[in-house]
Structures are given as structure tokens and as C-alpha cells.
């Protein structure tokens, strides 16, 4: 067919991994990217630090976090797994560090350094890269792609990889183009929804805490007043609601609850202390500060940063009141509030705030041993183009490294 063995559409992590791997194996590769630069989304992952993978070396345990997709992923992860990712980056001069919850980052804490490694990986004599060149149409005859039309012309190859990502962070170019092409090629495409995304809440006290994060908080969710579940971890307050790893990983569950009715939540600021013990602690603080005003000691009875929130609930109408004048009943109400700070969840933030979105081609339509489409004989699919639910914490990028590497083998 064309002069290229492989044409890769999309210069993100899985596309670069696929292109570099194929070229390393002696293939002539063309990499097409719609943006002016490669790896736009890679630069912002992990808050600009790039959570490369998750240091869960046991494949079974690692893949258990992928829900229904787990059974499909063993063959590809046996070819390129977490240890391979460590070897790949560290052998190219980028040391990695393991942080809380087994998240793995470059030691430099810079996503730009991960991108440098990947750019170098695709800087090879047998790879042509064309930027600012969006694909407009993919042409096929029967069950084979014959060529792609782009802004700058038509290109052909023996094999093709679609690595255009999902629809999270559309400002980076992830606008779902690949999904449209795949539908036209005959593939099923599951609709996208924000998968790992912050929660929007109605309460002013939450938004007033924007920028504050609290570790080891227990949050319980309710539907129509009935408890659904509780989780404990770190919560980040934002100008629109709550975020942080704990909340992000619950987004899919919360989305399901929102379909059932009104969703409310309560934060337990002291999950290891029962309400009776908490009341005693508050009483001890009050006894030590009898002649001080409530506003001057409120910070001693709340986690750091939460004192203004407690004041906002107006349990103590006049915060200049002396502590000794506060009734037992109000002390109890303070303890109750600290054990159950209430909020109303009004929705999930949209795609622009999503760390990951689901949606894409069902794995039943892909040979996951090779990433080859079961419908189009010379097409391979990688990364977020596949319909796979996964948590935050490095799992999404590992999926890109794995599927990109396997597709790049062109088996």
C-alpha cells in the first residue's frame, strides 16, 4: 500500500508508545497530531507531576481495579506491565518515586520530564511526525482501512492505530474524534460520561473552604435520606464542591446515586472518636479557656481550617460569648456537627474537570492480545479510545503504556 508500515493518529501517551515501539522494531511510521505539540494532556496529568503508574506489582491485584474489564486485560499486561513501565522510564534516565497509595511519579515531580522521554522515544529516523494536522476522514474498503484524509493531504499505510483519547479535558484536543470515525467504521461506541471527576455541592460553607484539604475524613453518602455507603480518606474543598483522590474515585458511584434521588453527604471530622469522647474533649478545651470568647478558641475544637465553617452553622449565635456561658446542649450540637457536617450533592463536574472519561469501543470488539480490531483487519486501538473504567492513581496512564506498547508490536 503506502510507504508506511504504520500510521498512528494521536500523539498522546499511547500513540507515542505505539509509534516508538513499532519504529524500534524496524517499522516505518507516520505519526499524525492535531495539536501544535505532542502530549498536551500528558503535561497536565497528576497536577503537572504526572502519575506514571501505580506500584501494585501483582497483576491480579492491579487489574482488579478495572472492574468488568479485568478479564480482558491479562494478556496485554503480561506483555507490558507495571515493572516494564519502571524499566522503560528509569532506563531512559528518569528515576521514579513511589508515593502514598502506591502512586508513581518522576523523581523530578515534572510531567514535562515524562514528555521529554516520550518525545525522544519517537525521535527516530524511521518516524515522520506531522503536527497541526487533524484527520478529517478515514477511508476503508470492506474490512480494511485504505487511507486517511487530513487537513494537509491524504496518507496511507499497511496498518493504522487510533490513539486519539476520550473526551476528558477537551482543551487538550480530546474531543472524541476517534469515536466518530470508529462508528463510521462499524464499531460500537459506548457514550462517554465523566468517570473520575469532582462533585458539585450546593452548600456555601463548603465553597468558602476552597483550597483547604483535610486528611482522614470519613464521608457518608445518602440517597433520599437513606445511607448508601461511607469511605475514609483525604477531601479537598473547592469553589464548586469537593475533590481529592477519595472523591474522584467515588464519582461513578455518586453518578448512579444521583439517578435514584436526592444525594446528601456528611463529613465526620473525627472518625476515630465517638461522639461521647468528642464531647469530653470539647468540654476539656472549654474548661481550660472559660473566660475566653468562643471565636478565640473555636480553632481548638475543629480540624485545621474548619473553624469558620463551624461558625457559619450559627450553633453559637454570638461568637463573642464567653465559653463558660455555652450550654451543655450547644456543646452537644457542636459535637454532632463535627461528626456529621452536612452537604447536598447537586451533580458531577463536566468533562472539562474529568481526570478520565469512560466510553469508547467495548473490549469484546478488540483482540486484547494484540489490540487489533476484530472488525477492521489493519486497525489497532489504544488508551482512552477503549471502554474501560478505572480509578485514578496511575491506572489510566499504565493502560496507555500497556496498550500502546502491545499495539506497536503489530502482531
- CATH number where 371 lies: 3.50.50.60
For residue 2, what pLDDT band results from cuts at 50, 70 and 90? low
If asked whether residues 124 and 265 sit together in one domain, one would say no
d(C-alpha 383, C-alpha 398), whole Å: 9
Q: Are residues 151 and 215 in the same domain?
A: no
Number of domains making up the chain: 2
**Residue 375 pLDDT:** 96
- Determine how many CB atoms are found less than 10 A away from the CB of residue 350: 15
Helical segments of 11-109, H only: 13-24, 59-63, 70-79, 82-90
User: 263 with 251: CB under 8 angstroms?
Assistant: no
Residue 40: pLDDT band by 50, 70, 90 thresholds? Answer: confident
Banded pLDDT at 170 (limits 50, 70, 90) = very low
Given a cut of 80, whether residue 389 has pLDDT beyond it is no
Q: Name the more confident of 151 and 258.
A: 151
Instruction: Pull the grid cell for residue 120.
Output: 525522544
Task: Assess whether 217 and 184 both reside in one domain.
Answer: no
Q: Are residues 139 and 43 in the same domain?
A: yes
Average of per-residue pLDDT across 54-74: 92
- Considering the domain architecture, whether residues 319 and 206 belong to the same structural domain is answered as yes
Are 303 and 322 contained in the same domain? yes
Segment 348-365 mean pLDDT: 68
Q: Which is nearest to 402 in space by CA: 109, 85, 173?
A: 85
Give the pLDDT score at 116.
Answer: 97
Regarding whether 202 and 189 lie in a shared domain, the answer is no
Indicate if 159 and 74 belong to the same structural domain: yes
Range of the domain at 247: 198-349
Residues 339 and 366 in one domain: no
**pLDDT > 90? residue 323:** no
Give how far Cα 335 sits from Cα of 154, 282, 330, Å. 69, 8, 9
Question: In the prediction, which pLDDT does 29 show?
Answer: 98
Specify whether 254 is located in the same domain as 371. Answer: no
Residues 311 and 389 in one domain: no
**Is pLDDT above 90 for 258?**
no
Q: Give residue 352's pLDDT band: very low, low, confident or very high (50, 70, 90).
A: very low
Q: Are residues 222 and 172 in the same domain?
A: no
Contacts 24+ apart (CB under 8 A), 132-140: 132/33, 132/34, 132/35, 132/36, 133/32, 133/33, 133/34, 134/34, 134/177, 135/9, 135/32, 135/34, 135/177, 135/181, 137/181, 138/181, 138/184, 138/185, 140/185, 140/376
Query: Residue 266: beta bridge partners?
Result: 220, 342
**Over the stretch 78-114, which tens digit does the pLDDT of each residue have?**
999 999 999 999 999 999 999 877 889 999 999 999 9
Amino acid at each position: 500500500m503506502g510507504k508506511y508500515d504504520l500510521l498512528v493518529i494521536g500523539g498522546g501517551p499511547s500513540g507515542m508508545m505505539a509509534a516508538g515501539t513499532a519504529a524500534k522494531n524496524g517499522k516505518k511510521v507516520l505519526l499524525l497530531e492535531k495539536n501544535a505539540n505532542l502530549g498536551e494532556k500528558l503535561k497536565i496529568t497528576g497536577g503537572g507531576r504526572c502519575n506514571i503508574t501505580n506500584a501494585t506489582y501483582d497483576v491480579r491485584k492491579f487489574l482488579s481495579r478495572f472492574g468488568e474489564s479485568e478479564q480482558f486485560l491479562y494478556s496485554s499486561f503480561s506483555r507490558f506491565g507495571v515493572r516494564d513501565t519502571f524499566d522503560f522510564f528509569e532506563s531512559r534516565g528518569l528515576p521514579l518515586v513511589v508515593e502514598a497509595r502506591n502512586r508513581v511519579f518522576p523523581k523530578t515531580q515534572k510531567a514535562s520530564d515524562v514528555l521529554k522521554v516520550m518525545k525522544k522515544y519517537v525521535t527516530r529516523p524511521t518516524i515522520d511526525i506531522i503536527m497541526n494536522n487533524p484527520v478529517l476522514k478515514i477511508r476503508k474498503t470492506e474490512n480494511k482501512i485504505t487511507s486517511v484524509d487530513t487537513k494537509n493531504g491524504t496518507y496511507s499505510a499497511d496498518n493504522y492505530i487510533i490513539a486519539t483519547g476520550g473526551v476528558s479535558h477537551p482543551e487538550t484536543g480530546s474531543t472524541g474524534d476517534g469515536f466518530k470515525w470508529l462508528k463510521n467504521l462499524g464499531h460500537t461506541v459506548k457514550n462517554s460520561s465523566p468517570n473520575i471527576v469532582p462533585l458539585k455541592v450546593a452548600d456555601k460553607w463548603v465553597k468558602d473552604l476552597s483550597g483547604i484539604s483535610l486528611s482522614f475524613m470519613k464521608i457518608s453518602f445518602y440517597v433520599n435520606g437513606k445511607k448508601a455507603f461511607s469511605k475514609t480518606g483525604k477531601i479537598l474543598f473547592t469553589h464548586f464542591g469537593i475533590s481529592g483522590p477519595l472523591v474522584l474515585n467515588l464519582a461513578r458511584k455518586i453518578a448512579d446515586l444521583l439517578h435514584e434521588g436526592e444525594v446528601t453527604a456528611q463529613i465526620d471530622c473525627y472518625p476515630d472518636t465517638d461522639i461521647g469522647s468528642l464531647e469530653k474533649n470539647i468540654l476539656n478545651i472549654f474548661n481550660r479557656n472559660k473566660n475566653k470568647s468562643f471565636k478565640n478558641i473555636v480553632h481548638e475544637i475543629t480540624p485545621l481550617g474548619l473553624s469558620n465553617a463551624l461558625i457559619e452553622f450559627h450553633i453559637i449565635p454570638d461568637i463573642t460569648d464567653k465559653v463558660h456561658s455555652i450550654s451543655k446542649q450547644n456543646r452537644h450540637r457542636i459535637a454532632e456537627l463535627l461528626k456529621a457536617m452536612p452537604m447536598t450533592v447537586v451533580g458531577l463536574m463536566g468533562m472539562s474537570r474529568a481526570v478520565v472519561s469512560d466510553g469508547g469501543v467495548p473490549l469484546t470488539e478488540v483482540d486484547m492480545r494484540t489490540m487489533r480490531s476484530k472488525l477492521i483487519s489493519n486497525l489497532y486501538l489504544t488508551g482512552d479510545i477503549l471502554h474501560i473504567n478505572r480509578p485514578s492513581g496511575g491506572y489510566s496512564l499504565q493502560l496507555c503504556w500497556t496498550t500502546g506498547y502491545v499495539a506497536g508490536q503489530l502482531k
